[in-house]
Structures are given as structure tokens and as C-alpha cells.
């Protein structure tokens, strides 16, 4: 099956977070970005080091968590960090999560309330069951 994806030019740049290591970034930084996913069970906010929310490796991890189709919006990382406060740093430093996917917020009601709609980036729509 082919995946129907809309991946418009990104308007927001990923921000590099110091102190974590990954060879694909300069020095000892991991480039992370915050993304709000609208899924069948509601909004979820994740941190990811993938350039695209439709990267095959990330899609596989999302599928393993039961997320098979979604609307995704980039969030300004500095705003997400400010709104989540200490919780943001705890999630970022969680050794049980991988660098390419960290769940920042499972509580859809709280996630939706923390961000204004005009703070959301351009949508990416992913539905593997859609026909082109």
C-alpha cells in the first residue's frame, strides 16, 4: 500500500539541544523538534530527532505505539520547553526513551490547551490507507 503524505516545506527549524550525542549533528548536539500529533485518541506531543515526521523509522516507532495515521504540526521548540517547564527537561534526559522519539505529553486535553492554533506549523497528513 502506498502512503498518502503531504509534507510541505517546513517553516520552523529544528533546534539543537546540547549535551546529548548523535553523529548526524554538529559536535555533541542532538537536533530535536517538538511535534503535536492529532491521532484517533487525541493530541500527543512528541520530541523527535527525525527531519520528517514521515521518516520510515519514526513511522515504525509510532506504529508500535498504536499510532498509524495522524495530522502532525511542528511546534516551536522554545515555546514547548517554556510551557512544559521541568517536565520538558526530564523527558529530554530520559534514558529509557530513544533519541529519535520521546513522548512529551500523552494528555491530549492538556497538550491542546497549552498551544494556540496560530503556534502550530504547517500540517503534515499521514494516512497509509489513503489512495493517491
Give the model's pLDDT for residue 95: 56
Cα separation, 82 vs 54, whole angstroms: 26
Beta-carbon contacts of residue 64 (< 8 Å; ≥ 6 apart): none
- The pTM for the full model equals 0.75
Beta-carbon contacts of residue 113 (< 8 Å; ≥ 6 apart): none
Of residues 32, 116, 120, the one with CA closest to residue 71:
120
Ranges of the chain with pLDDT below 70: 1-30, 95-99, 132
The domain ranges of the chain are 4-127
Cell numbers linked to 102: 520521546
Q: What is the pLDDT of residues 49-77, one digit of tens each?
A: 898 999 999 999 999 999 999 999 999 99
What is the three-class DSSP state of 63?
A: helix
Amino acid at each position: 500500500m502506498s502512503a498518502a503524505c503531504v509534507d510541505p516545506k517546513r517553516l520552523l527549524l529544528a533546534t539543537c539541544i546540547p549535551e546529548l550525542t548523535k553523529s548526524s549533528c554538529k559536535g555533541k548536539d542532538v537536533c530535536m523538534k517538538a511535534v503535536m500529533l492529532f491521532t484517533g485518541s487525541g493530541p500527543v506531543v512528541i520530541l523527535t530527532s527525525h527531519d520528517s515526521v514521515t521518516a520510515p523509522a519514526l513511522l515504525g516507532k509510532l506504529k508500535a505505539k498504536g499510532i498509524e495515521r495522524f495530522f502532525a504540526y511542528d511546534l516551536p521548540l522554545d515555546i514547548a520547553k517554556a510551557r512544559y517547564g521541568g517536565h520538558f527537561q526530564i523527558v529530554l534526559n530520559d534514558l529509557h526513551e530513544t533519541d529519535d522519539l520521546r513522548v512529551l505529553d500523552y494528555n491530549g486535553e492538556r497538550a491542546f490547551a497549552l498551544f494556540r492554533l496560530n503556534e502550530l506549523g504547517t500540517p503534515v497528513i499521514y494516512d497509509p490507507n489513503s489512495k493517491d
